[in-house]
Amino acid sequence: MRKKFLSLLLATAMLTTVFAGCGEAAGSVSDSSEVSGSVSETAAASSDSSAEQTDTADESLSFPKSDIFKGETDQQTYPLSDEKITLTFWYPQAGSIGTLADYNDSEFFQWMEEKTNIHIEFIVPASGEETQSFNNLFITGDMPDIMYTQPKHQVYRDGMDAAIDDGYIMDLHEHLDWAPNYVSWLNSIPTAKQDVFTDSGKMYGFWSFWDNMENGYADQGLSIRKDFLDKVGMDVPTTYDEWETVLTAFKDQLGIEAPFYTSKYGIDHGEFMAGFGIAPRFYQVDGKVKFGPMEEAYKDYLTLLHDWYNKGLLDPDFATRKSTGVAADNDMMLNDKVGSLIDWGTRMTDAYISRGATNPEFWTVAAPQPKLSADAPDPAWREVDNNYRDIQAVCLLVNANSEHLEAATRWVDCFYAQDVYLNANYGIDSEEGTVWYKADDGHRIGNYDFRYSNPDGLDSATVAAKYWAKNPPIRCEAAQIEQMPPERAASYAVWSKYAPTNYIPVTVTMTSDENAEYTQYYTDIDAYIQENEVKFINGERSLDEYDDYRATLIDMGIEKCIDIRQASLDRYNNR
């Protein structure tokens, strides 16, 4: 009689064992959900493209010559395949799909299929599960032909080199003859060599570029409600003291619930803190790697936030917000509960109105990164993940074991040809006059009204997903700005006011051993920091203990992490 419980017991005991081993996707909320939409929306920072072209340096670090400038002439022959083939494409853009059911509903991808005779089966992981979904691709042995990755969040655990050595990812260097359009880009960009090769001289995949960085800009930054500012009779603040005055006025005079909206960690991407001369985590000053929380100025910044929290100037519920990075809770934003935040350019006023903001006066404007005082040094850091020089932190990988290796490589390469990337950025040729129109000199301009007051009543995100490719490998910066009314486009100049010179490029790579040691320490350190920063801000932990806190970080191995980052940055600088 009792024996029948034995099986139950076994089931119970076993269930608690080794769930880490099986490759099943679990949980619906992940801490790294900042991955989700943000690639799409960040933009170009002008940086001194000083590195000179070193054609003759190392024989292994070279690509064929091309006299075609930036894919102006498409060198692929179409269709890419005589018979219809299907490729699988891992495309973590769940946050950008709008109300479409599948990216094959996109006019651009339909056009692309007709042109290339290649059908794409999109694999779109759920929003917030991108990283774990990517990890699982390697375990399940069911790897798609092409993968769209953000190496900051999605990289093979042992590093980029190892992904190639272990036979998962194709070394593009060996197959550049299939990628003539990409080669033309590499030849057109002076700094490409430093970024596209790994430390051991391999090419991990197709890196993404901006079409033109001459007028580089950021499309993410501080955003403040202009209508609120007008009500309290103030100007856009530029120093921390002015910010405090403005936020206090929002709170006292207008009763705004969250005068300044922060992410759930209380720490932004660095846009706001950079005035203190620091960054949220690792950054560099003249080639020397530093770690924000170890700096004295970081304590000052937390002291300021703690003070603001006590005064009710921060969102009282910040620690429970789902958002880990930019952009506020939609409902709060639309219901006038947020006074200022860090936001994406494409989410400004008109986007909120297309999402249903009902206040007729709703109006946000960009604010520059604040400084300590008017004559203090310029902020030198902001999140420029998607644009360091011309390069974006997006890399398209080809599965080394793909059945259609050549077709997959050529398909990705198409995106580097001008006629394809123009269609991808603005809308396909036949949509001239609706989705885009021609300027007097013949170049394309996106139709702003079509996007933000769509005749079919689609919201702006769905329009983007339906008529062009979200974040194609070549992104036209003009597609973002030029279509906008001048007062919107001006925000990019405001956000780009200071150059993010302290940023560490995402193309810096660690070796497999470094990777293993680094993650061993840093995973715990990162969790510890997130937790304590929230406590320092809301006062659960006193800032008097900051020295103890730093000592704990050292015990946990932060100095080794800094050393590793330093070593990898040095190698990068010597590439």
Partner 1 sequence: MSSVSTAKPLKKKFTERLKKDFKNHWQMYLLALPVIAYFFIFNYAPMFGIVMAFEKFQIKKGIFGSRFVGLENFQRFFVSPFFWRLLRNTLLISLYGLLFSFPLPIIFALCLNEVRNKKFKKTVQTISYLPYFISVVVVVSILFDFGKANGLITNIATFFGWDGGAVISSAKWFRTLYIGSNLWQHLGYNSIIFISALAAVDPTLYEAARIDGANRWQQTLHVTLPGIASTIIVLLILRLGQIMGVGYEKIILMYGPSTYETGDVIASYVYRTGILDADYSYSTAVNLFNSLVNMVVLFTANFISRKVNETSIW
Would you tell me which residues interact with partner 1 (CB under 8 A)? 2-3, 5-22, 26-32, 131-132, 135, 138-139, 157-158, 162, 166-168, 264-265, 316-317, 319-320, 516, 519-520, 523-524, 527-528, 530-531, 533-535, 538, 540, 552, 555-556
Distances (CA, A) of 31 to 97, 155, 156, 226, 423: 21, 16, 19, 32, 35
Closest distance between partner 1 and the C-beta of residue 12, in Å?
5
Q: Which two tokens stand for residue 268?
A: 């932004």
C-beta of 437 vs 528, nearer to partner 1: 528
Residue whose C-alpha is closest to residue 355's, from 234, 459, 503, 494: 459
C-beta of 10 vs 439, nearer to partner 1: 10
C-beta of 160 vs 412, nearer to partner 1: 160
The gap from C-alpha 57 to its chain's centroid, in whole angstroms, comes to 32
Closest distance between partner 1 and the C-beta of residue 171, in Å?
15
C-beta of 137 vs 342, nearer to partner 1: 137
Closest distance between partner 1 and the C-beta of residue 524, in Å?
6
Contacts of 85 (CB under 8 A, 6+ apart): 117, 118, 119, 404, 407
Find the length of the chain: 575
C-beta of 416 vs 518, nearer to partner 1: 518
C-beta of 412 vs 537, nearer to partner 1: 537
Give the span between the Cα atoms of 271 and 496, in whole angstroms.
11
| H-state helical runs in 24-165 | 35-41, 107-116, 130-140, 160-165
Closest distance between partner 1 and the C-beta of residue 573, in Å?
28
Cβ–Cβ under 8 Å, residues 270 and 381? yes
Closest distance between partner 1 and the C-beta of residue 556, in Å?
6
Cβ–Cβ under 8 Å, residues 143 and 111? no
C-beta of 2 vs 65, nearer to partner 1: 2
**Which 3 state secondary structure label does DSSP give 475?**
strand
Closest distance between partner 1 and the C-beta of residue 486, in Å?
39
Closest distance between partner 1 and the C-beta of residue 312, in Å?
10
C-beta of 267 vs 481, nearer to partner 1: 267
Give the span between the Cα atoms of 262 and 315, in whole angstroms.
7
Closest distance between partner 1 and the C-beta of residue 320, in Å?
5
Q: Angle of helix 418-426 relative to helix 107-116, nearest 10 degrees?
A: 160
C-beta of 7 vs 50, nearer to partner 1: 7
Amino acid code (one letter) for 365 = V
Closest distance between partner 1 and the C-beta of residue 2, in Å?
6
Residue whose C-alpha is closest to residue 218's, from 272, 273, 271, 261: 271
The gap from C-alpha 306 to its chain's centroid, in whole angstroms, comes to 28
Residue whose C-alpha is closest to residue 540's, from 266, 262, 260: 266
